[in-house]
Amino acid sequence: MKPAKERIKSIVKILRKEYPKTKTALRHKSAFELLVSTILSAQCTDERVNRITPALFKKFKGPRAFAAAKQTILEKEIHSAGFYRNKAKNIIGASKKIVKEFGGRVPDSMDKLTTLPGVARKTANIVLSSAFHIAEGIAVDTHVKRLSGRMGLSTERDPNKIEKDLMGIVPHKDWLDFNYLLVDHGRKVCVARKPLCKECPINYLCPSANTL
């Protein structure tokens, strides 16, 4: 099997063909809605988040409304997302900072986004790529972590170290979509329990093919 850097362009090309309309599954109408949705999605499915947010964004319209929200009320609204106390605290805290320090607008840089409560590199990367079309890194979620290991793209376990490995081999022009390509593939083919290796279009490029 060739080194990851020699395989990655072929992998991306094939995945782009398989998932031509790849994008975040989180429904949103603004950078702020995407930020809140991404915070809610931690250890929660995108599908569940998408069931919560329509009513949530109807009740709280924008960062100023969230900044003024009572935590107990917000907790009830997002309860089904899990870890609702911490998520409510972070959403309110992030909203307050956006209003106070960024003029009510979600910042468009990694350095500024990661100063917001509840926002680490993964969340920041998703907001930057999907809301602003800015590629400062590659979001590493559970799908990207699993597939990067299986495909021999990284031997690390820490998301930040995995991201560093991926940034070293994935062409910069593909950073915006790389997370979404792997997420789509992880949901459809390279599933967690029993990957469908025989049906996988990149199995000949994967060192784990037919071994799991």
| Other CB atoms within 10 Å distance of the CB of residue 64 | 14
Reply yes or no on whether 164 is catalytic.
Answer: no
d(C-alpha 96, C-alpha 94), whole Å: 5
Catalytic residue among 5, 21, 111, 122: 122
| Other CB atoms within 10 Å distance of the CB of residue 125 | 26
d(C-alpha 145, C-alpha 75), whole Å: 29
Reply yes or no on whether 141 is catalytic.
Answer: yes
Comparing C-alpha atoms, which of 153, 177, 151, 150 is closest to residue 164?
A: 153
Helix, strand, coil shares, percent, the chain, to 5: 60, 0, 40
Catalytic residue among 87, 141, 145, 177: 141
Catalytically annotated residues: 122, 141
